[in-house]
Homo-oligomer: A and B are copies of this chain.
């Protein structure tokens, strides 16, 4: 069976296919109402995420299937110390496909190596969240009619925002996209994300991106085709005075939209706290609630695709083991005692296969 852990697990062709399926579902909803009759989705949410969980559940019900699962870890066997591997082996007896959210990076990848059914990563710590990116892409495609030739402003916490990193990786696979990175200095996009895009472009693995960095949302407002807002969290700032000084400049409101294109599209992965003022909600450019609808459609398309691929070979660990260990405290290797540490070589850097952080030599 096939699993989706990272947005890059899907080829550009597969993304096209998923978007076409999603659009067909939107147009001919009834045609799909019985497609998963008798199938079960297991929503294994080791960390609560109501929106994502309800979206997956709605998707499965709209395909005629059923849902089992849990909404947080203390309702699960994890509180008794069971490994992710054992949990998904057992759940493979109960369900046909898994959507897993976990607070540890790499947990869904571990799951995919052990489940005998497909695993969809529904968010693993600060690492990946591919179905959010699917929602983003479909929304851009529906609103702009294309995924190329776009100027995309991304605003807020670009350092820790996993949805931002995935969206950048996804957009790099389409031609002539320009990314305007708007953030306080403390929360700039990590250089390795840019390096990774550039390295792949050099190897012909993507189409490349042009990047512009700024602190000022208004500077490029008139150029944006897409404005992707994310939250700037007080907790991220060492200097709280700095936070107080900056926070308002990263809040979008009706006044700041004056110079924006009339057909610009405003996105936000939600939930928002106050980074988009409610006076923007009735603006026709506000697309963040449409994103939620599109997320459900893409999850329906993905569930369908993975179930229809049917029995396949379980993915197997690809990596080396022995010389290095991961010491990232947020990685699944930090809690799973019997999990072997594997690494992969990436431009001369050895990275953990689970969390993608650099591994350390074993002394």
Contacts and interface: CB of A to CB of B under 8 A. Distances in A.
Interface stretch (A66-74, A179-187, A209-217): A66-74
A93 B296 contact: yes
A335 interface: no
A51 B38 contact: no
Contacts of A337: 274
B71 A61 contact: no
Given A74-B48, A75-B48, A55 B94 contact: yes
Contacts of A40: 58, 61-62
Number of copies: 3
A338 B48 contact: no
A271 interface: yes
Contacts of A87: 50, 271
A317 interface: no
Interface stretch (A78-86, A165-173, A242-250, A302-310): A78-86
Contact of A68 (B49, B58, B293): B58
B90 A289 contact: yes
A292 B72 CA distance: 22
Given A86-B271, A278-B338, 5 more contacts: A48-B76, A51-B77, A57-B68, A81-B273, A82-B271
Interface of A: 33, 38, 40, 42, 48-51, 54-55, 57-58, 61-62, 66-72, 74-77, 79-82, 85-87, 89-91, 93-95, 270-274, 277-278, 289, 292-293, 296, 337-338
19 contacts: A48-B76, A49-B77, A50-B77, A50-B87, A54-B69, A55-B93, A57-B94, A58-B68, A61-B66, A61-B68, A70-B71, A72-B74, A86-B271, A86-B272, A87-B271, A90-B270, A93-B292, A93-B296, A94-B296
